[in-house]
């Protein structure tokens, strides 16, 4: 049986996968949705350790597919690097990714970095990034906008300033980069740069909220994709 470890992005929580989880269960899979949390002075490495703990909890229970949305693309790659023999496939959903030493502030354009730093300084006491409006995630429908706005939380700045620590073990794990169309950032190129095949999916950045059925189908298809681990 396949277990999907679904890791939410910045400003979100495990609830981001609420519309995906029952669909994956109906397809015969198991799911785990670790909570990266937003309380305290957390960093990217803290989040990676949370995901490693989730992997350890299910690593002896069949095929494991590690899924990271947006910022969590960085998180799941660092976690997978620590447990390369436990992860069968990595999936990025509009995910940020890069080689060792990459982070949000090394991959994002200068305008994004400046806006984040300014928001943290003016409204987050220099340590937290206030949540942007739902529109920033491509959510514009009235019901979904209200649903998301009520749940978004400030994000610790250190999750964006820390850079990934990778040994290269993650590069032996096959991966797929799902990029949403129309795109906001070059998530397809991020995926290609780390050696992943790419799959396009029509929908906004928070596609798991607006188009859960096609995303769930794609995840199930990806989980059955057989590909030998690449040799470094």
What pLDDT, in 10s, does the model give residues 148-166? Answer: 999 999 999 999 999 999 9
Span 65-99, pLDDT tens digits = 999 999 999 999 999 999 999 999 999 999 999 99
In this prediction, residues 35-46 reach a mean pLDDT of: 88
The per-residue pLDDT for 195 is 97
Q: What confidence category does residue 231 fall into, taking pLDDT thresholds of 50, 70 and 90?
A: very low
Return the domain boundaries, the chain: 3-111+163-223
Q: Where are the beta strands (DSSP E) in 40-166?
A: 64-69, 89-93, 128-129, 155-156
Token pair belonging to 15: 């609830």
Pick the CATH number of 3-111+163-223 from 3.40.50.300, 3.20.20.150, 3.60.20.10, 3.40.50.1820: 3.40.50.1820
What pTM was estimated for this model as a whole? Answer: 0.94
**Torsion sign (Cα): 28, 208, 80, 173:** positive
What average pLDDT score do residues 165-192 get? Answer: 96
Q: At what angle do helices 44-58 and 72-82 cross, to 10 degrees?
A: 50
For residue 104, give Cα distances in angstroms to 9, 40, 89, 141, 160: 12, 19, 22, 28, 5
* Calpha distance 117→139 (Å, rounded): 24
Bond prior to 156 in cis (omega within 30° of 0): no
What pLDDT digit, counting tens, does each position of 17-26 carry?
Answer: 999 999 999 9
Query: Mapping DSSP to helix (H, G, I), strand (E, B) and coil, where does residue 93 land?
Result: strand
Is 139's pLDDT higher than 70? yes
């Amino acid at each position: 049986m396949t277990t999907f470890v679904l890791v939410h992005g910045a400003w979100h929580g495990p609830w981001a996968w609420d519309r995906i989880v029952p669909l994956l269960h109906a397809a015969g899979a198991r799911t785990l949705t670790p909570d990266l949390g937003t309380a305290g002075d957390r960093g990217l490495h803290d989040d990676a350790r949370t995901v490693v703990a989730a992997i350890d909890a299910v690593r002896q229970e069949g095929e494991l597919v590690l899924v990271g949305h947006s910022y969590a693309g960085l998180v799941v790659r660092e976690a997978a690097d620590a447990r390369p023999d436990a992860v069968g496939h990595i999936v990025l959903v509009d995910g940020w990714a890069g080689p060792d030493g990459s982070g949000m502030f090394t991959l994002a354009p200068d305008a994004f970095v400046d806006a984040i730093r300014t928001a943290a300084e003016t409204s987050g006491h220099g340590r937290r990034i206030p949540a942007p409006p739902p529109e920033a995630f491509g959510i514009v429908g009235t019901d979904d906008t209200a649903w998301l706005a009520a749940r978004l939380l400030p994000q610790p700045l250190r999750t964006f300033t820390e850079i990934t620590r990778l040994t290269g073990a993650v590069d032996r794990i096959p991966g797929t980069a799902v990029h949403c169309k129309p795109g906001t950032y070059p998530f397809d190129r991020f995926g290609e740069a780390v050696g992943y095949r790419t799959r396009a999916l029509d929908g906004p950045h928070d596609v798991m909220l607006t188009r859960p059925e096609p995303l769930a189908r794609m995840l199930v298809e990806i989980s059955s994709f057989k590909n030998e681990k690449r040799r470094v």
